[in-house]
Amino acid sequence: MLLTTLYIIGITAEAMTGAIAAGKRHMDWFGVMLVASATAIGGGTVRDVLLGHYPLGWVANPQYLVITCLAGLFTTLVAKWVMRYHKIFVILDAVGLIVFSIIGCRVAMDMGLPPLICIVSAVVTGIFGGLLRDLICRRQPMVLHKELYASVAFLAGGMYFGMMYFEVPELITTVATLVVGFVARMAAVQLSWSLPVFKLDDETNIVVAPKESATDTK
């Protein structure tokens, strides 16, 4: 099925970006596999734990865990290539983000949860993998600072929920959400769209920063 194929592409790409982050922290192979897996399937794991949706996806389907571990280890061999063709991963990451959001929204809808929770479920699934990666690697969490990432997950979740609510056929809903979400994400990357940043110094100087200065947050 379309979603499953794209899901596997998504977790593979996310696992590889996780492995790169682990390499920058000089982790051993186990650390690489753990960070790769946390990045790729951590979002779905957090969602399932928050919703009480057991068994977790990778417990029921351990092959996904095998994929993320192997993708992580494989990255140690081809890291130079991964970093050179970084732009391919921006594209694959965008695909993963939308697929994760759609799956997150569906899981919550299948549980009969309220609309807002379905959309929150999409956002959690889309972004918590990257958030866990940054916490384990002790980096500034990217999704809290830069670019329209969570917002795109919100858009994708809302669009999917809305179209399903109005009984648009599932295939059309899925494809439309994928296309719109992907275009929105790539546009955000290309045009450096971002949310306003809330800057506060300890000296009580408050600045709600415009877009330009948001991007040079280190």
Which positions lie near a second copy, rule CB under 8 A?
19-20, 22-32, 34-35, 45, 49-52, 54-56, 59, 62, 65-66, 76, 79-80, 83-84, 113-114, 116-117, 120, 135-136, 138, 140-141, 143-146, 149-151, 194-202, 204, 206, 208-209, 214, 217
Q: How far is the CB of 9 from a second copy (least distance, A)?
A: 22
What is the rounded (10 degree) CA torsion for 31, 91, 100, 15?
-10
* CB neighbour class for 40 (10 Å; exposed up to 12, middle 13-18, buried from 19): buried
Beta carbon nearer to a second copy, 6 or 118? 118
* CB neighbour class for 196 (10 Å; exposed up to 12, middle 13-18, buried from 19): exposed
Q: How far is the CB of 100 from a second copy (least distance, A)?
A: 16
Beta carbon nearer to a second copy, 56 or 168? 56
What is the CB neighbour count within 10 angstroms for residue 187? 13
Q: How far is the CB of 169 from a second copy (least distance, A)?
A: 28
What is the CB neighbour count within 10 angstroms for residue 125? 31
